[in-house]
Amino acid sequence: MYSSLKGKHLLNTQDWSVEEIEKLLAVAKRLKQERELDILHDDILRAKTFFMLFFEESTRTRNSFECGVHQLGGNANYLTPEATQIDHGETAKDTIKVLQRYGEGIGIRRTYANGNRYMKDVAKFSDIPVINMQCEDYHPTQALADLLTIKEKFQNYIQNKKFVVSWTYAPNYIRPISMPQSLILLMTRFGMDVTLAHPQEFHMKEDILSQAKQNAKEAGVNFEVKHDMEAAFEDADIVYPKSWGPVVYTDDEQEGLDLIEKYPEWVVDQDKMNLTKDNSLYMHCMPADRDIEVTSEVLDGPNSVIFDEAENRLHINKALMVTTMAGL
Ligand code: CP
């Protein structure tokens, strides 16, 4: 018997038990199946509002939450710092204490300037669930959608599947490390053997690495770090290659951009995919740097599940709103 998730925040998947995450996945699976049968769910969040506070741009996160709450019968309010009094200095406490008088849930994306601290401040004063829509350290809704995708593709037989998170070369700007950090934290808890691959300077935060190691130990799986992309890809069941900045190594932007240029060979092409198992999955949270970090041949190839992942953002986000806002 599952306990209610009503009112529960999701700032990091570590705050949710395996059982709670399994419940979320089960709700997402059911909502997805019933949507395919044209069964409507527009009474679950009728007349309820989900606030979406974006400090940065988004395609998938915004639209999956916005379409999702609409399909559940509720309303999405899109907020930005400029469109609210946040840019004039209104505090996290005052903002949430007002918004919770109007609506039933809030998601926040802030990947810079202590976004995680801001979300924790909001959550501390919030009576309504606070969902992390990506901060500098975590992207839990994406990682949960990815777990749903992996389970679907392998019909739940994911024990000891080799899951590889790899750095890729993508120039021009520094991308956050929230995605690889969330992936190594979540997949180690669900039976997969996890390999993290990156050039030396692109390492994760020490406390997150320790948590991933502890997760793997508790789950009885392997967790390893490699500095060789091809060695990591050998016999992989799932590869999740993605660019991120050397933000733990340096906070100097130009030094970070120069470091990225040291490793142009860290790209995904069919030769690298041929190192993986025949039925392996190529995953990417998107946006992908097409024909830069990965060839179109791979992105559009038979191993790629990128659009299924993007679709599953909808089903996971709906499940999150159903469980935390309605308590179903
Ligand atoms: N994967 C992801 O979060 O995409 P968006 O930045 O478009 O929301």
CATH number at residue 130: 3.40.50.1370
Q: Tell me the pTM.
A: 0.98
Distance 211 CA to ligand 1 centre (A): 25
pLDDT tens digits, one per residue of 279-311: 999 999 999 999 999 999 999 999 999 999 999
φ, ψ for residue 190 (rounded to 5)? -120, 35
167 and 74 belong to one structural domain? no
294 and 318 belong to one structural domain? no
118 and 164 belong to one structural domain? no
Task: Please give the C-alpha separations between residue 255 and each of 198, 247, 258, 264, 289, in angstroms, as whole numbers.
Answer: 17, 10, 5, 16, 21
- Give the pLDDT confidence score for residue 328 in this predicted structure: 83
162 and 72 belong to one structural domain? no
Instruction: Quote the domain boundaries for residue 159.
Output: 142-308
- Give the pLDDT confidence score for residue 113 in this predicted structure: 83
Mean pLDDT, to the nearest integer, of 186-195?
98
192 and 269 belong to one structural domain? yes
Burial class (CB in 10 A: 0-12, 13-18, 19+), 58: middle
- Residue 194's contacts (CB-CB under 8 Å, 6 or more residues apart) are 163, 164, 165, 183, 184, 187, 188, 212, 216, 221, 222, 223, 224
For ligand 1, whether the C-beta of 63 sits within 6 Å is: no
Distance 114 CA to ligand 1 centre (A): 19
301 and 183 belong to one structural domain? yes
Name the residue of 133, 146, 285, 305 to mutate for ligand 1: max ligand atoms within 8 A of Cβ. 285
Q: Which atom of ligand 1 is nearest to the CA of 64?
A: 8
158 and 237 belong to one structural domain? yes
How many residues are recorded in the chain?
328
Distance 61 CA to ligand 1 centre (A): 5
Confidence grade of residue 1 (pLDDT, cut at 50, 70, 90): very low
pLDDT tens digits, one per residue of 106-128: 999 999 989 999 999 999 999 99
301 and 191 belong to one structural domain? yes
Q: Which atom of ligand 1 is nearest to the CA of 134?
A: 3
For ligand 1, whether the C-beta of 257 sits within 6 Å is: no
277 and 183 belong to one structural domain? yes
pLDDT tens digits, one per residue of 36-88: 999 999 999 999 999 999 999 999 999 999 999 999 999 999 999 999 999 99
- Residue 300's contacts (CB-CB under 8 Å, 6 or more residues apart) are none
192 and 72 belong to one structural domain? no
Q: Give nearest CA residue, ligand 1 atom 3.
A: 61
Q: Which atom of ligand 1 is nearest to the CA of 56?
A: 6
Number of structural domains in the chain: 2
Q: Which atom of ligand 1 is nearest to the CA of 139?
A: 3
232 and 102 belong to one structural domain? no
For ligand 1, whether the C-beta of 312 sits within 6 Å is: no
Mean pLDDT, to the nearest integer, of 84-111?
98
Distance 1 CA to ligand 1 centre (A): 34
119 and 161 belong to one structural domain? no
Statement: residue 2 has pLDDT above 70: no
